[in-house]
């Protein structure tokens, strides 16, 4: 299924980008080649404040008129071109124009003619907006993936070290024994004394306490232990999928990130979501475990020891 | 009261876990330094192992988000959202939550800034954010670490959990804060 989801994300993304760009080109959404009229006030020889009414802007671009105020921007003017500095209030359309021309903070426009306080300008030609955004995404997200992975090394090493201490001292086994009645029911395939149980409990406990940077190393340790019981490397076992379903539900006593953001924005009661998100994530956990247990019996998803192994494993 | 206990717990949990684990290991005569280092060695290897999985997943999600395809899905699903009483502003959050952690965090912040963190929509989107994890990230990282290619029903189970989480968030918010 992951194959289809992956394919779907890419194909839908590329098609949607192409479709939206073709539509924009056919309606000339960015009014390429049309003169835009600005009012300007010189502040010095080559600096000015330029302005236009929002009404004129909306009419020019053929969008619904929403506001009637006047927007003004500082600008640097030379003989026949100008740089308009953008601000927070800049309409989205102009922000897109600036972004597509590679500098999101200013627009470089050509001055066509001046008459009195009016300035007629041509904005840079803007096309293939979505396609360019997709190309940028490919590059920036590839780097992001590596950044995330590299950023994990330190924390990962630390918690795996702590985890090893707990394994060597037998603490993990003690923790596992305490939770045995629940764990044997959720993971009937795993022997109750197996180190995987201890690691999974540590992961779930860390998640519950909102310690997400400790939860990931514990979870990955658990995956390694689960994989040691896997008769067919490269294919997920039932226990792995159930464990993952619990993790994707993200059950936590303290949704720390959401609370922090609420507090930062000035909520009167940032922790009001403690109960509600516990409820939501609790339902999600139950549904995830139930779905994993039911789906594992379906023919399409059944664990089949006869399927050929993945190319990498086969090569060894 | 409960809130204070929980908050205090989350702050002291890390030092407490570290102290308990190290002291217990020392009492059991485990050579603590050696043992820690031998475990920590795995950190580098695991992080490097997940890179290809993470690249594959994040790039696909990046393409999807940059293309603006999300608005098509929001448009297609908004009648359904209306039917179950989900505010249209919260629908993108429900769709984005399993795909992108940073994306849904940004969206949550944005919505709360616009409508106020204590408005119904503000409470709803922050509950939604807290009611689920970034499913595709978890799948890429966890399966990547042990080289699992065939994920079987993991995506389906994860997405079912997400859907129930989002609907659960909507349900409890409507019951408690009504609108």
pLDDT in tens, B80-129: 999 998 999 899 999 999 999 889 999 999 999 999 999 999 999 999 99
List pLDDT tens digits, range B48-73.
Answer: 999 999 999 999 999 999 998 988 88
Task: Pick the range with the lowest mean pLDDT from A64-73, A304-313, B22-31.
Answer: A304-313
Q: Using the beta-carbon criterion (under 8 Å), do B17 and A276 form an inter-chain contact?
A: no
Q: Is the ipTM of this complex over 0.85?
A: yes
Q: Using the beta-carbon criterion (under 8 Å), do A160 and B161 form an inter-chain contact?
A: no
List pLDDT tens digits, range A30-62.
Answer: 888 888 888 888 777 778 888 888 888 888 888
A22 in contact with B at a CB cutoff of 8 Å? no
Comparing CA positions, the residue from B156, B161, B90 lying closest to residue B121 is B90
Comparing CA positions, the residue from B61, B163, B135 lying closest to residue A244 is B135
Torsion A163-A169-A173-A175 (CA) sign: negative
Which A residues in the span 205-244 are in contact with B, Cβ-Cβ below 8 Å?
209-211, 214, 216-217, 219-221, 223-224, 226-227, 230, 233-236, 240-244
Judge whether residue A170 has pLDDT over 60. Answer: yes
| Mean local confidence (pLDDT), A183-196 | 90
Chain B residues near residue A280 by CB distance under 8 angstroms: 127-128, 130-132, 165-166, 168-169, 172
Comparing CA positions, the residue from A109, A67, A68 lying closest to residue A86 is A109
Which contiguous run of DSSP H or E holds residue A43? strand A36-44
* Residue A191 backbone zone (phi > 0: left; psi -120 to 50: alpha; other: beta): beta
Closest approach of A274 to chain B, Cα-based (Å): 8
List pLDDT tens digits, range B159-178.
Answer: 999 999 999 999 999 999 87
Asked whether the beta carbons of B55 and A146 are under 8 A apart, the reply is yes
Q: Using the beta-carbon criterion (under 8 Å), do B36 and A165 form an inter-chain contact?
A: yes
> What's the pLDDT band for B2 if we cut at 50, 70, 90?
low
User: What pLDDT is attached to residue A255?
Assistant: 87
**Residue spans per domain, chain A:** 31-127, 155-305
Chain A residues near residue B129 by CB distance under 8 angstroms: 255, 257-258, 277
Judge whether residue A278 has pLDDT over 70. Answer: yes
Comparing CA positions, the residue from A235, A237, A216, A218 lying closest to residue A226 is A237
Which A residues in the span 46-75 are in contact with B, Cβ-Cβ below 8 Å?
none
Chain B residues near residue A142 by CB distance under 8 angstroms: 55, 58-59
Tell me, what DSSP letter sits at residue A235? B
Burial of A85 (0-12, 13-18, 19+ CB in 10 A): middle
| Mean local confidence (pLDDT), A253-271 | 88
| Mean local confidence (pLDDT), A103-129 | 86
Across the interface, which of B14, B39, B123 has its CB nearest the CB of A161?
A: B39
CA separation for the pair B173, B125 (Å, rounded): 10
User: What pLDDT is attached to residue A316?
Assistant: 39
Residue of B nearest to A205 (CA): B13
Q: Using the beta-carbon criterion (under 8 Å), do A284 and B36 form an inter-chain contact?
A: no
Chain A residues near residue B118 by CB distance under 8 angstroms: 267-269, 272
Judge whether residue A309 has pLDDT over 60. Answer: no
């Amino acid at each position: 299924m992951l194959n289809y989801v992956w394919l779907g994300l890419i194909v839908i993304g590329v098609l949607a980008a192409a479709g939206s760009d073709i539509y924009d080109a056919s309606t000339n959404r960015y009014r390429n080649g049309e003169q835009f009229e600005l009012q300007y006030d010189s502040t010095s020889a080559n600096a000015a404040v330029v302005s236009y009414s929002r009404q004129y802007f909306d009419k020019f671009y053929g969008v619904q008129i929403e506001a009637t105020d006047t927007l003004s921007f500082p600008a640097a003017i030379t003989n026949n071109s100008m740089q308009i500095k953008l601000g927070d209030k800049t309409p989205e359309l102009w922000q897109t124009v600036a972004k597509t021309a590679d500098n999101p903070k200013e627009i470089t426009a050509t001055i066509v003619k001046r008459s009195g306080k009016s300035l007629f300008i041509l904005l840079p030609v803007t096309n293939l907006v979505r396609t360019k955004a997709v190309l940028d995404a490919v590059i920036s997200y590839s780097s992001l993936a590596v950044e995330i992975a590299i950023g994990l090394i330190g924390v990962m090493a630390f918690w795996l070290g702590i985890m090893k201490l707990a394994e060597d001292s037998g603490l993990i086994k003690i923790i596992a024994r305490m939770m045995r009645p629940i764990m044997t029911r959720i993971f009937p395939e795993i022997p109750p004394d197996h180190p995987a149980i201890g690691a999974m409990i540590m992961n779930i406990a860390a998640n519950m306490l909102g310690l997400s940077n400790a939860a990931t190393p514990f979870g990955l340790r658990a995956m390694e232990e689960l994989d040691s019981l896997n008769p067919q490397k490269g294919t997920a076992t039932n226990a792995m999928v159930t464990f993952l379903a619990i993790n994707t539900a993200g059950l936590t006593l303290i949704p720390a990130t959401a609370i922090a953001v609420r507090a930062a924005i000035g909520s009167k009661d940032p922790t009001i979501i403690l109960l509600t998100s516990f409820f939501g994530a609790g339902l999600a956990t139950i549904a995830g475990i139930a779905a994993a247990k039911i789906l594992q019996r379906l023919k399409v998803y059944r664990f089949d020891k006869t399927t050929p192994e993945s190319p990498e494993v086969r090569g060894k | 009261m409960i809130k204070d206990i929980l908050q205090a717990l989350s702050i002291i949990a890390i030092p407490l876990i570290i102290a308990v684990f190290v002291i217990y290991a020392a009492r059991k005569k485990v050579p603590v330094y050696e043992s820690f280092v031998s475990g920590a060695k795995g950190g580098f290897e695991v992080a490097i192992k997940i890179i290809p999985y993470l690249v594959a997943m994040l790039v696909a999600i990046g393409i999807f988000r940059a293309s603006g395809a999300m608005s098509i899905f929001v448009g297609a699903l908004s009648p359904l959202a209306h039917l179950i009483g989900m505010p249209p502003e919260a629908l993108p959050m429900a769709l984005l939550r399993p795909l992108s952690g940073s994306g849904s965090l940004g969206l949550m912040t944005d919505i709360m800034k616009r409508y106020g963190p204590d408005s119904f929509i503000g409470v709803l989107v922050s509950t939604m954010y807290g009611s689920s994890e970034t499913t595709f990230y978890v799948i890429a990282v966890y399966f990547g670490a042990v080289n699992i290619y065939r994920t079987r029903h993991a995506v389906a189970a994860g997405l079912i959990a997400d859907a129930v989480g989002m609907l659960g968030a909507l349900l409890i918010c409507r019951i408690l804060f009504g609108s």
